[in-house]
Amino acid sequence: MAVTGQFASLDEDLTGYENLLILGRLHGLSRAASRQRADGLLVAFDLTRSAGRPVGGYSGGMRRRLDIGASLIVTPDLLFLDEPTTGLDPRSRNQVWELVRRIAAAGTTVLLTTQYLEEADQLAEQIAVIDNGRIVAEGTSAQLKSRVGSGTLHLRLLDGEQRPQALQILAGALEGTVQLAADSLALSMLLATRPDAADMGRLVGRAMTQLADAGVGIADLSLGQPSLDEAFLALTGHRAGPATIDHEDLNA
């Protein structure tokens, strides 16, 4: 079993190579085996060019990759990752995602906690949603989304002042939960599950006709599966975030 915490547990005065070498020795590997393992991990995690630099000068993404690599000095059956992409830029986050996929594909079970629902959607085979210290839902991403509705209608208006009017029309024409975005031109409606998808299409079409008849201008419209963020909101009553969620546990 191996654990990678939310914050990198590396010696910043040592180089990336030295950090891995020392950990190899602490795990009982010989000097030669430690060097071989360190070299292999540096190549696998794209850190060869910075291997001789002190870790104190690494970027956040480089530290995170090295920290995960340090957990794999001896390949574990189970790897715990605690919010591995917190504070990373999108490029570094994608690099960590790819590493997690490769680790899982190699046979290691990964238990990952995250506040980023897109991350859960991208990586998880099974998701457990935890709210206020207890599990409120479990399943695959598709199963969790299907529990909260048949789809989500996203609208972008031409005139933000018409949003109250649009809300009133949608609430009367469709069965579901309206969600307002910070953008005054945007609104969404999480549609209630119905047995007949064709019937749902007709209802949405009728609602659009009513909006047009009322003079409510629509700039953009889309109807699709609920996002995991919308599913979380429906399941817990609030959005995911540091102030509202302990963690979201998932097996990747």
pLDDT digits (tens, 9 = 90+) for 224-234: 777 788 788 77
Buried b (16+ CB within 10 A) or exposed e, 98-111: ebbeebbeeebebb
- In this structure, are 104 and 188 located in the same domain? no
Give the residue-averaged pLDDT of 97-126. Answer: 91
- In this structure, are 38 and 106 located in the same domain? yes
Number of domains in the chain: 2
pLDDT digits (tens, 9 = 90+) for 5-57: 877 788 999 999 999 999 999 999 999 999 999 999 999 888 999 999 999 99
- In this structure, are 155 and 95 located in the same domain? no
- In this structure, are 74 and 157 located in the same domain? no
pLDDT digits (tens, 9 = 90+) for 173-219: 888 777 787 788 998 887 775 545 566 777 788 889 999 999 999 99
CATH code at 46? 3.40.50.300
Strand partners, 109: 78
Strand partners, 154: 188, 222
Q: Is the pLDDT of residue 122 over 70?
A: yes
Domain containing 95 equals 2-114
Cβ–Cβ under 8 Å, residues 139 and 152: no
- In this structure, are 21 and 69 located in the same domain? yes
- In this structure, are 171 and 99 located in the same domain? no
Spell out the SS3 assignment of 140-197: CHHHHHHHCCCEEEEEEECCHHHHHHHHHHHHHHCCEEEEECCCCCEEEEEECCCCCH
Band (246; pLDDT cuts 50, 70, 90): very low
Strand partners, 188: 154, 179
Q: Is the pLDDT of residue 252 over 60?
A: no
Is residue 192 in some structural domain? yes
Domain end position, chosen among 114, 140, 169: 114
197 vs 73, higher pLDDT: 73
Is residue 26 in some structural domain? yes
Is residue 143 in some structural domain? no
pTM of the model: 0.65
Is residue 119 in some structural domain? no
151 vs 34, higher pLDDT: 34
Residue identified by tokens 């409606």 is 189
The CB-side HSE value for 122 (13 A sphere, CA atoms) comes to: 16
pLDDT for residue 91: 84
pLDDT for residue 175: 80
pLDDT for residue 198: 60
Torsions phi, psi for 181 (to 5 deg): -95, 165
- In this structure, are 221 and 164 located in the same domain? yes
CATH code at 188? 3.30.70.100
Is residue 252 in some structural domain? no
Give the residue-averaged pLDDT of 65-85. Answer: 89
pLDDT for residue 242: 53
Q: What DSSP element (H or E) covers 13?
A: none
Torsion of CA 166, 167, 168, 171, to 10 degrees: 120
192 vs 63, higher pLDDT: 63
